[in-house]
Amino acid sequence: MRRRDFCARAGAAALSALHSWPLCSEDKPDSKFRSVAAEVAAIDRKRVIADANRYLAAPPVTITASHSDRSPGGPHDFFSEGDYWWPDPKNPGGPYIRRDGESNPQNFVAHREAMIRLSIVVPALAIAWKLTGERRYAAKAREHAVAWFIDPATKMNPNLQYAQAIHGVSTGRGTGIIDTIHLVEVTRALGALRDSGVWASGEYAAIEDWFRAYVQWMTTSKNGIEERDAKNNHGSCWVMQVAQFAAFTGNRDNMRYCAARFREKLIPDQVASDGSLPLELSRTKPYSYSLFNMDVLATICQILSTPSDSLWSFATPDGRGMKKVIAWMAPFIADKSKWPKPPDVEYFTNLPVRQPSLLFGGIAYGQPQWIKLWKKLNPEPAVPEIVRNFPIRQPLLWIS
């Protein structure tokens, strides 16, 4: 089908509601990009609006709705426990021990689940508003945002001091900062809703202030610095979060810092000469972690790249860069039976899903086969652990 024919079939009403995402035109040099945005709008419209319609009846649920007796924090402090830590059979009442890749089902996860719920609901509502122009979707997204970041009775404190604690070992660790990857797409959605007309005076600025405070904590606290310096996907997730929260609040200095860290640390320290991610391949879930870190690195590129300074085009002197990462992994997404490592100890059969790196990279590098592959994959996984490692679910927020 020709691009012009596709644009006509996509529907002028739906596409014009995308505001800043204009109809594709073969007369413009970026028409391929605009054509992809139009196609994604057509693909996702029915699914997203159906989801958003369900969420219109969903009340906000923040961390104040649940509390663990094991948390040293108060009702407004996020608390989670390290996934792979279990009671020691030799010392049942003592410090937990680690079983890599095996999640302990007895851990406290209610705060994490509430945040994931937020990250599913608000972006879907934002896209539904973009697609339809109906105020009710934006108003509902505002309700959730106010509850999480403004309302004194229900808001979360802007830190993760008590995240991924380990019984008998630690009350909170730097690795816990990975739990807020689910706020990345939330801020992207809130940015899309900035001019929706639903905000009361000062509300949007108050949300920006919350994220400024959180970034300040991430960049200065012991836990934050520890996570920044992690050499695997945790370090990547720190950069992705700070980059997006800085973009949301207009902090150009932090954005430049994150771009430099991508070039100077993430790619050189994590990417092998063939494009693989050795630090992820060494884990007991090498497939899942490779997919996850590839998506995180691609999202960093999507956040920070500009026409004059593109992280997509960056490569080390020996050729390591984002294009190699996706090119190495794409064949194993297309045919998982070719995976050269042992299968993951958990959920291997539930992967892959609609990895955003395929779409972002397909656009950035002009690789239509990656976009075609992306279309074939599941956009709405149901397994909680897969959902937790799939924080970018609404691509229309990212390719405008």
Angle at 171 between CA 166 and CA 175, to 5 degrees: 65
The tokens for 47 are: 């699914």
CA distance 178 to 258: 16
For the chain, residues classed under CATH 1.50.10.100 are 56-221
Q: What is the predicted pLDDT for the residue at 101?
A: 82
CATH architecture of 56-221: Alpha/alpha barrel (1.50)
- Are residues 51 and 124 in contact, defined by beta-carbon separation less than 8 angstroms? yes
CA distance 92 to 161: 26
Candidate from 74-88, 135-149, 200-214, 352-366 with smallest mean pLDDT: 74-88
Cα separations in angstroms, 114 against 75, 102, 136, 142: 14, 22, 22, 16
Q: What is the predicted pLDDT for the residue at 113?
A: 96
Nearest residue to 125 (alpha-carbon basis) of 36, 39, 192 = 192
Average pLDDT over residues 78-86: 89
Cis peptide bond upstream of 379, omega within 30: no
Q: What is the predicted pLDDT for the residue at 181?
A: 98
Integer Rg of the chain from CA: 21
CA distance 144 to 59: 8
Nearest residue to 294 (alpha-carbon basis) of 261, 260, 266, 336 = 266
The tokens for 346 are: 């958990």
Nearest residue to 29 (alpha-carbon basis) of 366, 300, 322, 310 = 366
pLDDT in tens, 101-121: 888 888 899 999 999 999 999
Q: What is the mean pLDDT of the chain?
A: 91
Average pLDDT over residues 56-68: 97
pLDDT in tens, 216-250: 999 999 999 999 999 999 999 999 999 999 999 99
Q: What is the predicted pLDDT for the residue at 148?
A: 99
- Are residues 76 and 63 in contact, defined by beta-carbon separation less than 8 angstroms? yes
Nearest residue to 224 (alpha-carbon basis) of 268, 265, 176 = 176
Comparison of pLDDT for 342 and 170, the residue scoring more = 342
Q: What is the predicted pLDDT for the residue at 6?
A: 28
pLDDT in tens, 294-325: 999 999 999 999 999 999 999 999 999 999 99
